[in-house]
Structure formats: structure tokens, C-alpha cells
Amino acid sequence: MGVIAAARAARQVVRVPVPHDPGLAGTRRAARAALVAPLAFAFAKFVIGNPQFATFIAFGCFALLVLADFGGTRRPRAVAYAWTTLVGAALVALGTVASSSPWLAAAAMLLVGFGVQFAGIFGGYVAAAQTALLLSFVLAVSIPATPATIGVRLAGWCLAGLLSLLAGVFLWPRFERVALRQQAAGACRALAGMIVAQREGPMGDALARRVSAARDAVGTVRRSFAATPKRPAGPARRDRAFVELLTELERILELAVGPLRTQLSDQHPCIEAGHALAETVARALDASATTLNGGPLPNLFGLQEARLAHREALDRWAGERLRASDPPEQVLDGLAADDALRIVSYLALAVGANAVITRGGQVSDRLHLPEETPRQDGLAAMLRRGIRALVASLTPSSSALHNSLRVGIGLGLAVLLSRLLQLDHAFWVVLATLSVLRSSALATGRTTVQALTGTTLGFIAGALLMLVVGANSPALWVTLPVAIFLAAYAASALGFAAGQAGFTATVIILFNLIAPVGWRLGLVRLQDVAIGAGISVLAGLFLWPRGARGELGRTVALLYRAVANLLAATFDRAFGEAANATQARALAVRAFDRAGEAFDQFLRERGAKPLDPQSAAALVAAGGHAIVAADLLTGMAEKGYQASRRLDPELHLREQARALCATFRVLADRLLDVREEEPPVAPTLEAALRAASLACLRQWQIDPSLERAAIGYISAAEWIQVLARLAATLEDPVAQTAAVVRRPWWR
């Protein structure tokens, strides 16, 4: 079995990669680097004539054009290049000062490595600039120099930044965010068409096509978002609004085609109010699409008023039917007929608000929106969101904190060893450590094999080139742009090993142009990569080797416990008991943030995933769905739909609510491998909830003053049923995750 596993691993490493370059993003990036970097290097060599200047301008162009190729429209892209250049310049100066002593250099590298890596929790351009910033400091601190060289080093780096800014903004830019917004607009329109079709009649060919189109549109924008290398994310208000918008589109799709889907086309008691709400929802989604494409803003107040009018119409209808002695069963079916539509309308309101914010607009405080909607603008709001991200990550078990410490310690150790051993090109040792180190020991081991394989292939290619054309041949200038293009393209489109091969061949050519030494330079490169990779392996083995999967299971478990507490407080309030769910909600949102951070870290791990990403995503998303359900139930209670103690105490809704909360706690215990008794959920849950709702209606029929109390009870029963279905869908993902979490780290 060991031989078979080794053979499979070998095939995994040496298999020929298939290019993957959506939107030709890798081709554009490689073409920019191949055009700008050789010209900048030639200027440094023949005009300036300073090796330090040449080194920093060459690697600066590669870092900023290849490792930090920013997305977005021209203006924010230019700002990102400018800020990265300025911060990188400060790191170059700091690294040069610290390079005087091996121990000082190692300590500075540890602190800078940790700080830059940890800053990635803010996402967006901050995360996109991480590798380039680390490279600027690694280059400065690994090559010993006196403070007198700071000026020439800064000149090389800053000129590289200026050239990269101009190239990134004007040379074949790809505006990923514009494309993402257009795809999100298409998803909004597809969902609007599906909702209209569902109101027109039962499932048929036309409706099936609408549902399929909506699935495809939402799936397309989600895949594009995940595949965008520098995707919008983080505390920036517009970026966060777009992330929330995508989540809400997925929730609308799930509700409209999930267990409640038939309720969108059943016989509705308030047909006019229901149609009016559905049409308003469709118009709001269409208008949100127009807003995302630069058009006018949606009428969100119209949607909010339609939701209120529909609620009032349902209440009036139910009261009239009960006074007319209609069977409570028919009244209950009528009240439940538009449940899915009402939830979808709430999410559509949030979609419209986030579309407005994504465009840079403002939304009114009079709109009732989910609290996650980043309606607040300005520095204070940005700081609050930044603090929230810090709180979610600055915990002893945070995978982001672990990974930042791993990177800082690994790079610091690489600087120290390479300087103490006085290795030639110590920069390559540290860069290899940075390139290979991953968030788990297993992933680090895989990238180590890939790095050594790619470096060996690059060495062979570079050595053959040196033997054919010579180390001091003008032909090297011809091959340099080709090598840079292949290195940049391979890194994004062909994989890590191919990128290492291209980069090795490039540095052999580049350093022979600076000081001809021939093919033996490749041996030095191979040695340094092996040392750097070895340091990465040690760091991966001794510093939290399990990676993100253990943190993912733990944070999801904590999320489910926080959700259980939130639901308990929310149902208590719905049942007319004194309960303050504000603190419980804040804790649930914080737990959701931490689970989302662990999930992002899990996705960023290279190599085959031990857990299906879709299953992991479902676990985290379920917590968000439960928080939305609590928000909607709280909104009902705030409008006076709270149970009264005059209702029959034998309805057992409290027991069912407690059993539901216990279900989420049991799911959490399974993820944490805690043995607990099964929750006392009755096998006939839906029948019990229906019986309780019918009993409420009968009492309302006797006492008309119980109108809002009865509707509050019925709403609570409906949400217990919906959340119980949600919990049932989590059984398999929880079992898979629990098995993966308990698996040894080397598997």
C-alpha cells in the first residue's frame, strides 16, 4: 500500500498541467511583466550601472506586476499600486538597516513576516499585496548592506513601483470587479424572472427553464468570484456589500427552489397582495441589476411598504375567515402559503441595499435591513469593521494567527541560518521558505516536492541555455523577456511547480546578465531552495501541523453553539418572555465571522482538500441562515407579534424550540467529538407544530384580541420547522467534517 501511495503521489507531482487562465488574466499579467521588467533592468544596467539598483528594480517589477497584480477599475488599482510601493519602500529601508546583523535581521524578519501575513485578514488589496511586500523586505534584509545604500535601493524599488503602476493601469487591464458586477446583475434578473414564473403557475417546462437559468446565473457569479485572484473582500464598505449581496442571492435561490418552493405557486388567500409583493420583489431585483450596471437606484421603500401591506392583508384575511367560522386548517394553510415569498422579499431588500452600497451610494436608516449590511460609511465605520476582523482573529486557536506566526518564525529562521552560514544568494533561501510554507504540514510537504521538482527542471533548462549561448552572450537579452513571460504565466495558469521552473530559469538569466558566472549558478539556486524548503517543512511540522481543517471544525462548532443560544433567546422573546437577544446575536455574528475566516483559510490551502469545499461551505452558510431566521423572528416580535400567556400552555412550542436548540448543540458536540445524548426531537415534528398552530387559531377564533399573539406563535412554529429541516441537512456534512478533523495531520 505504501508503494502504491508513493506512486500516486509521484504521478500527482510530475503530471503535465493543463493551462487554466480565465479571462486571459495570467496572459495579461505575464505580457506586462515581460515588457516592463526587461526594459527596466536594461535601464538599470546600462544607464545607472549599479547592481543594487538593478536588483531592486528587476525584482520590484516582478513582485508588483506578477505577485501583486491588482484588480479593480483604474483609479483604485492605481491607488493600490501607489500604497504598496510606499509601504514596500518603508520595508526596504527598514530591511536595509536591519541587515547589518544576522540576529537583528532575523528578529526584524519575524516581526515583519507576522505583521504582513496577519494583515491579510482585512482582505482586498491588503491581502493582494502581501507577497510583494514580504518580498521587498526579504530582498533588503537578506542582502547585507550599509545604510548608505538605502537611497539607491529605494530608487530602484520606487521606479519599479512607478513603472508597475503605469503598466498595471494602462497595459491590457482586466476589470474583474466590473465583470463580477455584471454577472451579479445577471443573477438578479434571472432570480426575478424565476419568481414571476413561480407565481404564474405550477412547475412546467417554462418554469423549469427559469429555475435552471437562475441556478446557472448564481453559480456562475459565485464561481467567478471564487476564481478571481484578487477578489473584492475585507472591511472596505463596497467590497463587503458585494460579498453580502452574493450570499443573499444564494439564499434567495435556496429558498425559492428548496422545501418551500411549492408555496410560491400554491393557491394564495391574499392573491392581490401576494402578487403585488412578488411583482415588487421582481422589480427590486431587476432594479438592483440596473444599479450594479451603473443605472438608477432601486425603490427599496416601495418593497418595504409592499412587505408591510402583505403582512396586514394576511392578518385581515385570517381574522375574517376565522370570524366566518372557516376551518382553522384552511386558515393555517393560507397563512403559510406565502412564507417563502416573505423571506425572499426580505432578502431582496438586502440585495437592493447592498447593490446601492456597492455602487458607492447611501441607504436610509429607515430601511429594516440585516445588521450585516454595511450601511455606515466613513473612517469610523471602517475602523469598527477592522476591529471586528481583529477580534475574530486574535484568539489563541485562530488559524490566521497560527499561519501568521508560522510565516514569521519560518522566515526569521531562514534569514538567520542563511546569514550565519554565509550562503551565497541568501535571498533565495528566504524566498524559497516564503514560497513553500503553507498552513499545514501536509500541504507544505507537497509544495516542497513541487518546488524541488520545478527548481530542478528550471536548473536544467537554464544550464542548457548557458551551455548553448554562453554566460556573457547578447542572446540572453533576447531570452530574458521570454523567460519572464513563461515564469509569470506558469505561476498562475500551470501551477506551482511550473512557476518554480520558470522563475529558476529567469533568475539564472538575470544574474548572469548582472555578473556572468555560467550554469553553476543554477546549482546554488537548487541548494538554496532545498534549504529554504527544509526550513518550511520543519516549521510546518512543529507549528500547528493540522492547518485550517481543525480550526474549521472547531469554529463551526462554536458557531452552532452561539446560534443555539441566539435561537433560544429569540424564541423566548417570541413566546412573550423577557429576553434580550442583542448580546446573543453579537456573539453569534462574531462566531460566524470566525468560522468564515477559518473557511477562507481552509480554501487557501494548496493541494487536495481533505473535505469537500461545498460541504464546508454548507456548514458555515447554515449558521448565517439561522441568524437571518432569528432576525426575521425578532422583527415580528418588535411589531407586536408576541405570544400571550392567555394562549393554551399545552401547545408545547417551547419544548419544540428547546429541542431545536439542542439539535444545534448536538451538532456542535459531534464536531468537537463530545459524546452527548441525542436531542429530544419528536419524530412527528411537523405534525406537532401544525397541531400547535391550529390550536392557536382556534383560540383566536374564540378571542379576537389574540390576533397578533396567535400569529406570533404560528410564525415561531413555522421557523422551528424550517430550522429543523436546515439542521437535518447538516447531518452528513457534520459527520464528514468530524471524521476529517479527527484524522491524523499527515493524512
Q: For 431-450, what is each residue's pLDDT tens digit?
A: 777 777 766 666 666 777 87
Residue partners of 598: CB distance under 8 A and separation at least 6:
398, 399, 548, 551, 552, 554, 555, 556
Which pLDDT tens digit goes with each residue over 290-317? Answer: 998 888 888 888 888 888 888 888 888 8
pLDDT (0 to 100) of residue 633: 83
Which pLDDT tens digit goes with each residue over 111-130? Answer: 998 988 888 777 667 878 88
Neighbours of 18 (CB within 10 A): 8
pLDDT band at 107 (very low <50, low <70, confident <90, very high): very high
230 or 611, higher pLDDT: 611
What the block records as the C-alpha cell of 48 is 545607472
What the block records as the C-alpha cell of 382 is 471602517
First to last CA, the chain: 14
Neighbours of 327 (CB within 10 A): 12
Mean pLDDT over 459-481 rounds to 78
pLDDT (0 to 100) of residue 154: 93
φ and ψ of 235, to 5 deg: -75, -10
Which pLDDT tens digit goes with each residue over 375-409? Answer: 666 556 666 666 766 766 677 767 778 778 888 88
pLDDT (0 to 100) of residue 669: 86
pLDDT (0 to 100) of residue 11: 46
> Which letter, b or e, does each residue of 663-684 get, where b requires 16 or more Cβ atoms within 10 Å of its Cβ?
bbbbbbbbbbeeeeeebebeee
Residue partners of 109: CB distance under 8 A and separation at least 6:
98, 137, 138, 141, 408, 411, 412, 414, 415, 430
- Could you give the percent of the chain with pLDDT greater than 90? 9
Is residue 534's pLDDT more than 70? yes
How many residues belong to the chain?
747
pLDDT band at 262 (very low <50, low <70, confident <90, very high): very low
Q: 59, 66, 86: which is closest to 160 by C-alpha?
A: 59
What the block records as the C-alpha cell of 561 is 453553539
**Type of residue numbered 532:** G
pLDDT (0 to 100) of residue 585: 86
Residue partners of 4: CB distance under 8 A and separation at least 6:
none
Q: Which of 180-194, 504-518, 694-708 has the highest mean pLDDT?
A: 180-194
CB 406 within 8 A of CB 546: no
Average pLDDT across the chain, whole number: 78
Is residue 498's pLDDT more than 90? no
Q: Is 649 exposed, middle or buried (0-12, 13-18, 19+ CB in 10 A)?
A: exposed
**Type of residue numbered 740:** V
What the block records as the C-alpha cell of 170 is 494602462
Q: In this predicted structure, which of 32-46, 178-192, 343-357, 627-641 has the lowest mean pLDDT? A: 627-641
Q: 514, 668, 525, 506: which is closest to 66 by C-alpha?
A: 506
pLDDT (0 to 100) of residue 9: 45
383 or 224, higher pLDDT: 224
**What region, left, alpha or beta, does residue 53 occupy, with left being phi > 0 and alpha being psi -120 to 50 degrees?**
alpha
Which whole-number Å values give the CA distances from 88 to 130, 366, 396, 487, in the listed order?
10, 44, 29, 23
What the block records as the C-alpha cell of 438 is 503553507
Q: Give, as one character, the DSSP assignment of residue 650.
A: G
Task: Give dist(CA 622, CA 127) in Å, integer.
Answer: 26
**What region, left, alpha or beta, does residue 121 occupy, with left being phi > 0 and alpha being psi -120 to 50 degrees?**
alpha
Q: Give, as one character, the DSSP assignment of residue 678.
A: P
The alpha carbon of residue 24 and the mean position of all alpha carbons in its chain are separated, in whole angstroms, by 22
Q: In this predicted structure, which of 96-100, 307-311, 675-679 has the lowest mean pLDDT? A: 675-679
Please give the helix or strand (H or E) that residue 557 lies within, else none.
helix 548-574
**Type of residue numbered 101:** S
What the block records as the C-alpha cell of 203 is 412547475
Whole-structure pTM value: 0.72
DSSP result, 194-232: HHHHHHH-SS-HHHHHHHHHHHHHHHHHHHHHHH-TT-S
Is residue 524's pLDDT more than 70? yes
Is residue 88's pLDDT more than 80? yes
Is residue 170's pLDDT more than 80? yes
Task: Give dist(CA 146, CA 133) in Å, integer.
Answer: 21
CATH class of this structure's domain 554-742 = mainly alpha
Task: Give dist(CA 314, CA 308) in Å, integer.
Answer: 10
CA angle (64 as vertex; 29, 77 as ends), nearest 5? 80
pLDDT band at 683 (very low <50, low <70, confident <90, very high): very low
What sign does the CA torsion over 652, 657, 663, 669 have?
A: negative
CB 358 within 8 A of CB 295: no
Which pLDDT tens digit goes with each residue over 694-728? Answer: 877 787 777 777 777 778 777 788 888 878 888 88
Domain ranges of the chain: 29-174, 179-229+236-373, 423-545, 554-742
pLDDT (0 to 100) of residue 610: 61
